[in-house]
A and B are shown apart, each in its own frame.
Chain A
Amino acid sequence: MYSFEPSDEQRMLIDAVERYAESDLRPAARAVEEDGEIPAALIEKGWELGILQASIPEEYGGFGDHSAVSGALAAEAMANGDLACTLAVMAPSTFVVPILLGGTEEQKKSLIPPVIDAEWKPFVGAYIEPDYDFYAGEMRTIAEKAKGGYTLNGRKAFVPYADQALSFLVFAAVDGKTQAFIVPSDAAGLTIGERERLLGIRAVPTFELHLENVKLTADSRIGGEDGFDPNPVVASTQVAIAAMGIGMSKAALDYALPYAKEREVWGKPIAQKQSIAFMLAEMAMEIESNRLLVWEAAWKLDVGETASQSAYLALTGAADTAMSVTDRAVQILGGHGYIREHPVELWMRNGRGIPTFAGMAMV
């Protein structure tokens, strides 16, 4: 049966995340962006909501079942507060979820609990590469079989908290197939570049990773000797980022709408002009329809259907939505939208990143 209503449990999760987004993230969003860092306590408070932990079964240290739908709902709600903080809070998901989906039993038992057992810790994935045509299906970072394990070569980008990371999950191609490897932060041949200077999400410190003949043991490969199917992992990150794109778009709509009702031109609120009212209607329609694409892809992941195409369409739809809706929000505020006193310019900068951020969070 079709249903478009979250379960009671999911509703509770959404409510909790919404409270955090509204009372903690939104008020802090501008300051963290300008400062270029997020207070540890703010991240910790988001981590304590237990979104990732609730998605990990007990035998691996968590307290729930993996649900991409719940993860997507939480990601949307949190990104409604602030995208950069959401990416920070959820950064360990890019380390944990691939292990959960593709790891051997032993890897799951040994690698997951240390990440989720207590406070937020920078265990992060290194997925994106610094190329204009980066494509997750054809990684340029290569893992070659070597004596006793693998040798890793390549470059990664948009790796959050790499400077303080305890361990990385590095995605690399093995004979053309995308795989993932545990790389300790002190591995020989691994160097961390300068902090990246980005258009948006400036509150999250991100770095390039350079991997030069990094030697790894055979058991570093997720899934063991034969590896794992990367498709659900790719889909999982597309869903996560798409959900955030929707959440941020909703924030932009919810900001522009009351503004348009307040702001007057020739004695009438601009919202009473069709040119503005229609923009708002279209923003709402894009959000409402594309959100469902995200849900559908997440649901397919949960029931074990092939989700690749759905997740890809979801990210395509959410990325276009995020760009157009945040742009329209700036447009509705006019010149004021361009001023950094309002958040819409920040959302517009972040909005352009949605198609690029796939790899920075997973559900």
Chain B
Amino acid sequence: MISFKKPEKIEQAIVLMETIAENMMRPVSRHFDENEHEIPWDYIEFMHNSQKAMGAGSLTDAGPKKKEGPRLSFQRLAFTAEMLSWGDVGLWLCTPGGGLGAAAVNATGTPEQKERFLSRMSGDKPVFDAMALTEPHAGSAMPAEVRTTAVRDGDEWILNGEKIFVTAGNKALVDTDGFVVIWATIDPEAGRAGVRPFVVEANTPGCTVCKMEHKLGIRASDTVSIALQDCRIPFDNILGSAEVVDKEKTKKGFKGAMATFDATRPLVAASALGIARATLELLKEMLEEQGVEIRYGLPRSRMTNLEREIIDMETMLRSTWLLTLKSMWLADERKGNTIEASMCKVKAGDVVVKITQRAVELMGPVGYSREHLLEKWFRDAKINDLYEGTGQINRLIVARRILDYSRHELS
């Protein structure tokens, strides 16, 4: 039965998130944009404590599973990402206890691994996690072209290589006792069938943060390079099977690991749409202050340009949000969502970039001024069209899916 009724539990969570966004995020948004790499400890501690207390903003589904009622965890996550990114996306990326690393563990780890790596999220101190996939020579071609190696040595793996563009890598490895999920190959001859995610914990010798990037936006969030030099980790830190089998049968290996993205792409989409909504709301407020009325229901021949712009923005924002919600609903229902996940990621990237660019343009010198957040959101927005697969890579994924093509047939 088709329904757009927001579940009560989500309704309650949103109220809480909105309070956090308004009181903990917006007031310091500009500060952490202008002071790159300063760590927002107040926000981090607050989020850590509130997650422990009531699961607010919790990104992982590691708690005891309830059997009753429909599953909502992915949907709730989408609302959380949306609302906190509405607050400030840079700070949202500084939310402890559940980044992409935790998502990978959650999606592909064994119960023992989930316990071992995720239980720290509910400890006394806030803990970060990160995912390291991109390497200096290749981004979108990952994970097929992973050069970082994992060689087995008894009951250990030895990792060697370099990772770049690791979101929150410094917080995961240096600032807190967290972990990074490192993608490495256990068999360079096997291509992507040999690629596996490995968990590398903070303070592991041979794993160092070697560079912090300076960025266009999301400046509150650190983006780092990681060097792995004879980095030894326990054998059991591999996520998925250690066997390289025929690639048609690698459900537990490479393909299983890729399931991570079915959860994380809609999450990025939701976050992008939070920025887009913030922008649209502020734009409408600013116009209203100037006495500009936006009328609904008119044919295009009767609209002002501003009305047309805003209604087009609302249409693209709402339709993309509903698709994002659908892909999370599918995930909660344990139904395949690969195509929807990539679709909403592509559309959200497009939509947030378009809306933030237009808003700055439409507000003229006011939009361009750092007195307001529009220009910041314009800078923050662009990352959503880049990370978790560029808009083009995700278009390829959608196209392959609908055309039933392999990556050899369409690249």
Point out residues on A near B: beta carbons under 8 Å. 1-7, 10, 69, 132-137, 234, 257, 260-261, 271-272, 274, 277-278, 280-282, 284-285, 288-290, 292-293, 295-296, 299-300, 303, 308-310, 312-313, 316-317, 320, 355
Contacts and interface: CB of A to CB of B under 8 A. Distances in A.
B297 interface: yes
28 contacts: A1-B3, A1-B5, A2-B7, A2-B329, A5-B2, A7-B2, A137-B297, A137-B298, A234-B297, A257-B402, A260-B403, A278-B392, A278-B395, A281-B396, A284-B398, A284-B402, A285-B323, A289-B319, A290-B315, A293-B318, A295-B4, A300-B4, A313-B314, A313-B315, A313-B318, A317-B315, A317-B319, A355-B300
Contacts of B231: none
Nearest to A269: B409
Given A288-B323, A299-B2, A280 B399 contact: yes
Given A1-B3, A272-B409, A293-B318, A133 B395 contact: no
Interface in B297-342: 297-302, 311-312, 314-316, 318-320, 322-323, 325-326, 329-330, 340
B3 A272 contact: no
B396 A1 contact: no
B269 to A, nearest CB: 11
B403 A261 contact: yes
B322 A132 contact: no
Nearest to A282: B395
Nearest to A310: B318
Contacts of B6: 2
Contact of B301 (A133, A274, A282, A292): A133
Interface string B266-301: 000000000000000000000000000000111111
A296 B312 CA distance: 17
B2 A271 contact: no
B347 A285 contact: yes
Nearest to A285: B343
A45 to B, nearest CB: 27
B399 A281 contact: yes
A25 to B, nearest CB: 24
B189 to A, nearest CB: 27
Contacts of B316: 317
Contacts of A284: 343, 398, 402
B12 to A, nearest CB: 14
Contact of B4 (A133, A290, A296): A296
A280 B402 contact: yes
Given A289-B322, A292-B326, A5 B343 contact: no
Can you list the 8 inter-chain pairs with the closest CB atoms, starting with the nearest?
A292-B322, A277-B399, A289-B319, A281-B398, A281-B399, A289-B323, A133-B301, A7-B1
Given A3-B1, A6-B2, A316-B312, A288 B296 contact: no
Contacts of B314: 313
B4 A308 contact: no
Interface string B5-17: 1110000000000
B264 to A, nearest CB: 19
Contact of B296 (A10, A69, A133, A308): A308
A69 B2 contact: yes
A295 B2 contact: yes
Contacts of B329: 2-4
B346 interface: yes
A2 B75 contact: yes
Name which of A69, A271, A310, A355 has the most chain B CB atoms within 10 A of its CB: A271
A292 B402 contact: no
B5 A2 contact: yes
Contact of A272 (B70, B392, B405): B405
Given A271-B410, A296-B4, A135 B298 contact: yes
A39 B298 CA distance: 36
Given A2-B3, A289-B323, 16 more contacts: A2-B75, A3-B3, A4-B2, A4-B330, A133-B302, A135-B298, A261-B403, A271-B403, A271-B405, A280-B402, A281-B399, A281-B402, A282-B395, A308-B297, A313-B314, A313-B318
Nearest to B10: A2
A272 B400 CA distance: 9
Nearest to A133: B301
A288 B344 CA distance: 10
Name which of A260, A285, A292 has the most chain B CB atoms within 10 A of its CB: A285
Nearest to A254: B402
Nearest to B344: A289
A136 B298 CA distance: 8
Name which of B75, B319, B398 has the most chain A CB atoms within 10 A of its CB: B319
A129 B326 CA distance: 38
A323 to B, nearest CB: 12
Contacts of A3: 1-3, 329
